[in-house]
Amino acid sequence: MAVLLDTTALPWHQRADAVCATLATALTPASVAATAGTRSRISRWDLGPGADLLHHVSGGHRLTRTGKHLRSDNPERISLGLPRTGSVRLKHRDLPYGDRIGELQLVDLTSPYDFLVAGPSDLQAVVVDYAQLGLSVDAVRSAIPRLPGSPLYRMTLRHLRGLPEVIDALPPGPALSMLGSSTTDLIRALIASSVARQGEWTVEAVNGTLFLRLTAFIREHQRDPDLSAARLASAHAVSVRAVYAAFAQQGEQLAEWVMRGRLEGARKDLARMPASAGSVAKAAHAWGFKDARHFARRFRAAYELSPSEWQRLTATRQG
């Protein structure tokens, strides 16, 4: 994470200008106005080529992009924003004007818009170059008013909401890079699934994120004992064969993926539970294991300790 601006240490009379300068650089050209003496903190995460995550704790500002800004030679981009708290009003193409806190806001940054943040607010957005997104401007504009109707809407909303915390928890390396590219893939699929007319390229965009969607569903339902390939196929309107193929293409096996997630969830729970009669069976049952003995065997194979030994070890460390 890079902190682009924190006005806390700036003199009162310099804060508004600093906010305007930072926002003008971080996004596409636009007219920027900020409340005098406003408090602002703007952070940025690199999601890979042509994609950034921005988080702005704002005391109030306004971004207006007009026809004169469209003639610049800056990269063409889109923004998928998530206002978390405060009062935010966006006027852009076919979007209804008004507060939509907690909802996704897709903005084609090649079009005019007026974005008003009235008072203290918390906002984040993923900004992606069109060249990286791989979708046409017309496709994005068509998807803007239809976004909430996409079957990927809630998944993308949850993904963006937790993205800053997850990125900060990951060390530099392949996993972080894959998270960035997966975020772009998910946004591409969300937009493609929302356009007015579905073509071959939109189907490919949605299918290309099947593994991401399947694993997100698994994480959400990890504790369910009936988490099977048939259930995954039904939830995503694909065949059972397509589910297995999506994992095989990533060099993974569905059953082992589910098992690893359940074991790790149970391991974390056991570390917080006092060692007592029945605690191991309770943790096993909570994470979808029907047989505590099977759970114990898989736990030892994964961590080279029995569940009870792990509990005692963590209790000693905490004590």
Q: For the segment 183-193, what is each residue's pLDDT rounded down to a tens digit?
A: 998 998 899 88
Q: For residues 1 and 156, what is the distance between their CA atoms, to the nearest angstrom?
A: 21
pTM of the model: 0.67
Dist CA 87 CA 99 (whole Å): 6
The neighbouring-strand residues paired with 89 are 116
pLDDT in tens, 202-229: 555 555 677 877 888 888 888 888 889 9
Q: What would the two tokens of residue 243 be?
A: 């589910």
pLDDT of residue 196: 64
Q: Residue 200: in which H helix or E strand, if any?
A: helix 200-207
* Contact assessment for residue 279 and residue 312, using Cβ atoms and an 8 Å cutoff: no
pLDDT tens-digit readout, 3-50: 999 999 899 889 999 998 888 877 777 888 988 888 999 999 999 888
pLDDT at 56 over 70: yes
* Alpha-carbon distance values, 50 to 53, 78, 206 (Å): 11, 11, 20
DSSP three-state, residue 189 = helix
pLDDT at residue 72 in the model: 57
Please give the pLDDT value at position 35: 83
Token pair in block for residue 282: 């309770």
Q: What are φ and ψ of residue 16, in 5° steps?
A: -60, -45
Per-residue model confidence as pLDDT tens digits over 129-187: 988 888 888 889 989 989 998 888 998 999 999 999 999 988 888 888 888 888 998 99
Residue 57's pLDDT band, with cuts at 50, 70 and 90, is very high
Question: What is the average pLDDT value for the chain, to the nearest integer?
Answer: 86
pLDDT of residue 274: 80
CB 243 within 8 A of CB 232: yes
Phi, psi of 228 (to 5 degrees): -115, 170
Instruction: Tell me the domain boundaries of the chain.
Output: 2-208, 255-318
pLDDT for the residue numbered 235 = 83
Which single residue is written with the structure tokens 């806390």?
A: 8
CB atoms within 10 A of CB 45: 21
Q: What is the pLDDT of residue 82?
A: 95
**In the prediction, which pLDDT does 58 show?**
92
From residue 197, give the alpha-carbon distance in Å to each of 35, 175, 206, 268: 42, 34, 14, 46
What are the helix (H) ranges across the chain?
Answer: 15-26, 130-133, 137-143, 153-169, 174-192, 200-207, 210-220, 229-235, 240-248, 254-272, 279-286, 292-303, 307-318
Please give the Cα distance from 315 to 319 (Å, whole number).
Answer: 6
Q: Is the separation of the CB atoms in 179 and 167 below 8 Å?
A: yes
- What amino acid is encoded at 8 in this protein? T
Question: 97-111, 157-171, 292-306 — which is least confidently predicted?
Answer: 97-111
Two tokens, residue 300: 């030892």
User: Which pLDDT score is estimated for 159?
Assistant: 93
pLDDT class for 248, splitting at 50, 70, 90? confident
> Which pLDDT score is estimated for 215?
85
Domain range 255-318, CATH architecture: Orthogonal Bundle (1.10)
Please report, in angstroms and rounded to a whole number, the separation of the first and last CA atoms in the chain. 34
pLDDT tens digits, one per residue of 77-103: 899 999 999 988 888 887 766 778 999
Query: DSSP assignment of 209-230, as one string?
Result: THHHHHHHHHHHTTT-TT--HH
Task: Please classify residue 238 by burial: count the beta carbons closer than 10 Å to its beta carbon, then call 0-12 exposed, 13-18 middle and 19+ buried.
Answer: middle
CATH fold, domain 2-208, is Jelly Rolls (2.60.120)
